[in-house]
Amino acid sequence: MSENTDEELTILDATSDFDTLGGRIVRAREALNLDEKEASRRVGVTLDTYKNWETDRDEPRANKLSMLAMCLSVSPTWLLYGRGKSPISESVSEEVTNIREQLARVNDLQEQTAQQSRC
């Protein structure tokens, strides 16, 4: 097999993600910090249907798979076969954590200011 540069790689050259379809759905949803209810609402299915996808009890039909991939910012190929670019949950989670810490500091400062103004 010939060596490919990064620019020449195809989906078939990529290393497979050996998780299940449901596992990849969960990872993509969590990378966006969505709960199951919000994800199901965005895709346009019931919460039970969405949970069945995440637990591998059922699989989305083609039209819903496409919508699901779009809503989760991943490709349908990655969802189905684990090939291609996966969501980057670590960087998203780190950014969210930093923002939450900053908001907590702002809230603390706001409470301190309110207490001082009461005196």
The structural domains of the chain, with segments of one domain joined by +, span 12-87, 89-119
pLDDT digits (tens, 9 = 90+) for 74-108: 999 999 998 887 786 455 567 767 787 888 888 88
* Among the listed residues 101, 61, 74, the one whose alpha carbon sits nearest the alpha carbon of residue 52: 61
SS (H, E, C) 43-85: HCCCHHHHHHHHCCCCCCCHHHHHHHHHHHCCCHHHHHHCCCC
Of 73 and 7, the structure prediction assigns the larger pLDDT to 73
- Domain 12-87 grouped into CATH 3.40.1160.10: no
pTM, two decimal places: 0.62
Tokens of 7: 């620019």
pLDDT digits (tens, 9 = 90+) for 2-26: 444 444 444 444 456 688 999 999 9
- Position of tokens 């299915």? 45
- Which helix (H) or strand (E) is 116 found in, with range? helix 89-118
